[in-house]
Amino acid sequence: MALDPLQALQAAAGRRPGLHPDAATAPGATRGALLIAGATGALGHELVRRLAGRHRYDHTYVLAREPIRDGLRGVETVLTPAVAPIAGWPLVAADTALVLFEPPRLYYDRERALWTPEPAQLPALAGWLRACGVRTLAVVQPHDQGRLPEALKHGLASLDEQAVVALGFERVLLVRSARKPGPQRFANPLERLAAWMLSIARFMVPTSEQPVRASKVAELIDVALRLAPPGVHVAAPELVWRATQGEMRAVVQGWVAPVH
């Protein structure tokens, strides 16, 4: 029976973080601990399945607002204090961190118990992760189709991203994954008419900027974490799309470690 990634999350209360007894010998395991912030939505589901469910790391922590009792050894939740600022959270020793901004799906009870950051919290969260000892940080930045200037797709697109890079991580991976437009609400018929007239623009978005399956984005992140050398690596939406069209490893290799 296939493993449900959310079933792999267990309460941290009353437990001391430790090494999964089989992790050191698990095929394809990566040494060190992984911490996931925002393990929700389809992408979070896939990343937990790939990285935690297959024991890519010695131990996996997932940030949560409430305890989750069901689980698999080697994966545990870390409760985030409800009132304390992120900088004041207790530290959790980890080597690699993933930050995702996908909101929980309302029909998944366990996802509602997990903690998901807001984009504005990225600098504070990154500072806390750095204090936890994280050396590799991967951030999946949702990208609105056709909204980001070409020059910024391949580099740091905001002061927040620049602040994260300045914290001194050994490796930073920024993955700009295109997302579908959310539902719109209109206050009056004129707004609805204007939105309809502008909606033709969605047909002008290149195919290479269209959203891709969460499983493919998770695979890209998995491969990049294994191949990327030290430095800052930014994946534009076009690269994410191209990686789904052919040999994933070759595309990621060309992205993180191009041959000159």
The pLDDT value recorded for residue 104 is: 81
Residues of the chain scoring pLDDT < 70: 1-31, 53-54, 69-73, 143-157, 178-212, 259-260
What is the crossing angle of helices 248-256 and 214-227, to 10°? 50
Do 94 and 100 meet the contact criterion of CB atoms below 8 Å apart?
no
The pLDDT value recorded for residue 186 is: 52
The pLDDT value recorded for residue 17 is: 40
The pLDDT value recorded for residue 128 is: 97
Q: How far is CA 4 from CA 8, 50, 199, in A?
A: 7, 11, 38
In residues, how long is the chain? 260
**Torsion over CA: 89, 93, 99, 101 (sign):** negative
Query: How crowded is the C-beta side of 96, counted as CA atoms within 13 Å?
Result: 22
The pLDDT value recorded for residue 28 is: 46
CATH number for the segment(s) 5-256: 3.40.50.720
pTM of the shown model: 0.75
Listed by start position, the domains of the chain span 5-256
The pLDDT value recorded for residue 149 is: 42
